[in-house]
Structure 1
Amino acid sequence: MVLPFDINNIFSASESSLDQYCNAVFQLQYEYNKVYRQWVDLINPTNAAFKIPQNIPALPISFFKNHSIVTGEHMVQKVFESSGTTGVITSQHHIVDLSIYEKSFIKGFELQYGAIKDWCILALLPAYLERDHSSLVYMANKMIQMSESKQSGFYLYNYNDLAKTLMSLESAGQKTLLLGVTFALLDFSEQFPIQLNHTVVMETGGMKGRGRELTRLELHKTLSQRFGVKNIHAEYGMTELLSQAYSKGNGRYQSPPWMKVYVRKEDDPFEIFTEGTGLIQIIDLANIYSCSFIATQDIGRVYADGSFEVLGRMDHSDIRGCSLLVV
């Protein structure tokens, strides 16, 4: 299988050329991804043309739990796995080319925050560090390596050390990113409420099984008060995607140019809109070797400028359909 274009081009694509890339990727994945092809044939038996990207059929994200979603016949470099409680089937994302993932998260972050080398990266990710195959840990580790601050690093439950490091960095006026899973940020800030003036606090989600689920407003208000910051930033990413969106406050996420977010009606998956409220559907062109067209289980709102917010998740079980495929 030969890619129809240089994959690096998607990271510098203009808005006008993005539609062409989306259609080229669809044709590639329809031809060489047998799971995706069967899904498309199932829901679009007439083989209608897809003239605009939002109408390209999206694969239910739950398929990553039961199928190997790979485009083409390639050696897999790494398998990322989602988090989950014991006994729960987790998603697996088979990565053919790790360099594409690295280009995506590096460029995506730097578009919003500037050069990674200028930041001190403090990763408070205990739940993720305690298991293998986390895409978030992989991303944080690469960013730590790229940082020119010798104080960059991971933290498990060593909150005393983290507090000392933060105070040292604050005294030095060092631009710092505190990237943390939600429950750990809450625990840490409760024990060590520190006034932060040079630090961005970024939550990645993650409260499942760790106490009462907080609304975003409750969470951000609590963390803002404890850290003395105006806004809590957030990262929107998932195992099944190779790109991330970032919020600099108020829960409004901005996607990189090669990642597009739409919403679809829950009772009619063929009604898809560029703005409004519904179930989030994503095009991630960095997923060139898996599937770039994903129907998530998140409920969200997309705004006219392309930004979006996440309002919650579907209350019922995963979208089903795996049993309809013969693979």
Structure 2
Amino acid sequence: MTKEIFSIKDEDGFEAIALKIFAFQAVHCEVYKKYLSALGISPLDVRRLHEIPFLPIGFFKTQEVVSSTDPVQVVFSSSGTTGMIQSRHLVTDISVYEESFLRAFNLFYGDVEEVCLLALLPSYLEREGSSLIYMVDALLAKSRHTDSGYFLHNHDELYEVLIRQRQAGQKTVLIGVTYALLDFIERFKPDFPELIVMETGGMKGKRKEMVREELHMALCNGFGIAGVHSEYGMTELLSQAYSPGAGIFHCPPWMKVLARDTNDPLTLLEAGRTGGINIIDLANVNSCSFIATQDLGRVYVDGSFEVLGRFDNADIRGCNLLVG
């Protein structure tokens, strides 16, 4: 089924494969099966994309959300403060994740082999189980550029590398956790207009939270760039959406975001209205592809979306969220 997932060409193709995966997971994902039963929904009655129910993301904290009987290869876990229950994503086929993030990166940013990829992700590197670090590790291994790599706290070296890439006219992507990027520009101003700066969100308790516009203005001024890119992903997914600026995210062809009514979670909203974010991630074929997140957002006619906040009773988590 993996070949079908990454060969989607249009909306009809997406719906056909989504319904096929739904029928499979409704039987083989025990948690999802019980959830559908509790709702009184028969999988046989679900014939269109908009009829598929979404599993609340909180189940990843208390249940093993898997649809495959294959051995678990990797366990990804969410970040969180001490005492907080972490989400756990049991991955039975890591090659699907690898194909998903490599295809998505190449789609949005070009062949990773030709990119100088720099990573400033100290808080992620200092814990285990990060799906983001797994992705960045693999992308760095694919990059052919000798300067590609991690920069934990060595900002002086990062600055030297940025100046070198600027002078060489090399396509460069700097992916960083928000507070670390702000720490860097307090000391250095690389003035690199062609640089792609991608923030992964979160202050991790290191700095006061900022609204997106304020944060992006600071990063634009600090790096000398016109806009800030963002990555939207989470422990429970095997796909990411990317924003080229202004907080508007775009999905790869095998991922789709829908908005649900906050008062009636089984009802989807039309484009432009604010609601809870539902995600269809077809790469999550061996887990659950239909996730109701705790994020609030707005989905547009072209399928792009923005994240506006979180439900008041939602745990603070390490996924990308900047209240705009």
TM-score, normalised with respect to structure 1:
0.93
Shift of 1:45: 4.3
Cα distance in structure 2, aligned partners of 1:129 and 1:185: 15
Instruction: Map Cα deviations across residues 150-195 of structure 1 (whole Å, 9 max, x no partner).
Output: 1000111111111111111111111100000111111111111210
- Of the structure 1 ranges 267-276 and 67-76, higher mean CA displacement relative to structure 2 is found in 267-276
1:261–1:274 Cα contact (<8 Å) kept: no
**Could you tell me which of 7, 21, 25 is aligned with 1:12?**
7
Correspondence for 2:285: 288
- Of the structure 1 ranges 105-114 and 296-305, higher mean CA displacement relative to structure 2 is found in 105-114
Give the partner amino acid of 2:99.
K
Shift of 1:52: 2.2
Correspondence for 1:70: 66
Cα distance in structure 2, aligned partners of 1:209 and 1:27: 41
> Are 1:127 and 2:126 counterparts?
no
Structure 1 residue runs of 5 or longer lacking an equivalent are: 1-5, 319-327
Give the partner amino acid of 2:143.
S
| 1:80-229 aligned within 5 A | 80-229=76-225
TM-score, normalised with respect to structure 2:
0.94
Give the partner amino acid of 1:286.
A
Cα distance in structure 2, aligned partners of 1:241 and 1:253: 16
Shift of 1:9: 1.6
SS of 1:210 mapped into structure 2: coil
Structure 1 103/258 Cα, relative in aligned 2: closer, same or farther at 3 Å? same
Shift of 1:47: 5.5
Correspondence for 1:299: 296
1:179–1:204 Cα contact (<8 Å) kept: yes
> Are 1:22 and 2:22 counterparts?
no
Correspondence for 2:313: 316
**What is the aligned-residue RMSD (CA, Å)?**
1.2
Shift of 1:207: 1.3
* Count of matched residue positions in the alignment of Structure 1 and Structure 2: 313
Give the partner amino acid of 2:290.
F
Identity %: 49
Which contiguous aligned blocks of 4+ residues in structure 1 show a shift greater than 2 angstroms? Answer: 44-48
1:55–1:272 Cα contact (<8 Å) kept: no
SS of 2:6 mapped into structure 1: helix
Structure 2 residue runs of 5 or longer lacking an equivalent are: 316-324
Give the partner amino acid of 1:150.
T
